[in-house]
């Protein structure tokens, strides 16, 4: 199975918008499961089907990018002029009125979306993509706090806020930072199966929600009195 290349355009986004989905994807990867298997047995069938991910943090140049929300400085792994062909783009969000990506990063997003490749946006990342025109005519969602302002700014997008994330073809938009992780969890379940999502979520002690924000994604367990024990189960219990 060929590695899946994941690109993350670098600008002053909220850290969890991008690192959350990346950590979840990594937790479902063959590399991490092989490491976990050293400490606790992992079902061999999961190891066999787990994907390999290669992450590219794409800068306008190779200069470091400072993230104000967390005071983290990120070093690009590749400049946009040299980025290899990526299968997935993950676009985080910042203050919509402030962020406008450099032209080359905008062009990367436009070309990726037009090619029908998978594009995830989290929080106000949908506004970042909307500014490129790649969301025109598409259904999308965005952080509810900025929803009305963004809807006025980008009227060519079919904005919706009834669900935690919206899927329109190859573009998946998540409403808030953690909803973006839930969205990616749903993609993992669709693409690789519930058993792999359970293992990935277990590594993070994370309980993903469904599109309505309910904790119904993972199987539920209860004791003899009806109290919930844990949403996490091991693959051989599914």
Per-residue pLDDT of 82-137, as tens digits, reads 999 999 999 999 988 777 899 999 999 999 999 999 999 999 999 999 999 999 99
114 burial type by CB count under 10 A (0-12 exposed, 13-18 middle, 19+ buried)? exposed
Rounded CA gap, 196 and 182, in Å?
15
Q: Is the pTM of this model over 0.75?
A: yes
72-74 vs 65-67, strand pairing mode: antiparallel
Reading the block at residue 111, the tokens are 């070309």
Predicted local distance difference test score (pLDDT) of residue 237:
41
Lowest mean pLDDT among 21-30, 133-142, 187-196, 222-231: 222-231
Domain ranges of the chain: 4-237
Model confidence at 42, in pLDDT bands (50, 70, 90)?
very high
pLDDT in tens, 154-198: 999 999 999 999 999 999 999 999 999 999 999 999 999 999 999
Rounded CA gap, 70 and 238, in Å?
38
Domain 4-237 class in CATH: alpha beta
What are the strands, taking DSSP E only, across the chain? 4-9, 53-59, 65-67, 72-74, 78-79, 88-91, 118-122, 139-140, 158-159, 165-168, 171-174, 221-222, 228-230
Kindly state the greatest CA–CA separation across the chain. 60
């Amino acid at each position: 199975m060929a590695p899946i290349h994941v690109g993350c355009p670098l600008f002053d986004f909220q850290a969890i918008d991008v690192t959350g989905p990346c950590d979840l994807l990594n937790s479902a990867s063959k590399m991490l499961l092989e490491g976990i298997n050293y400490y606790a047995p992992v079902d061999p069938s999961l190891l066999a089907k787990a994907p390999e991910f290669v992450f590219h943090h794409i800068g306008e140049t190779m200069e470091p990018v400072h993230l104000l929300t967390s005071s983290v400085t990120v070093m690009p792994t590749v400049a946009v002029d040299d980025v290899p062909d990526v299968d997935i783009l993950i676009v985080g969000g910042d203050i919509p009125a402030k962020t406008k990506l450099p032209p080359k990063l905008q062009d990367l997003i436009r070309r990726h979306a037009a090619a029908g490749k998978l594009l995830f946006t989290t929080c106000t990342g949908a506004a970042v993509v909307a500014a490129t025109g790649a969301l025109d005519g598409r259904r999308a969602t965005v952080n509810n706090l900025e929803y009305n302002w963004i809807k006025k700014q980008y009227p060519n997008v079919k904005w919706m806020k009834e669900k935690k994330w919206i899927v329109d073809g190859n573009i998946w938009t998540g409403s808030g930072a953690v909803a973006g992780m839930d969205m990616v969890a749903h993609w993992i379940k669709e693409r690789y199966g519930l058993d792999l999502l359970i293992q990935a979520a277990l590594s993070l002690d994370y309980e993903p929600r469904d599109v309505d924000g309910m904790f119904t994604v993972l199987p539920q367990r209860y004791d003899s009195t009806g109290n919930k024990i844990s949403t996490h189960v091991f693959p051989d219990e599914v």
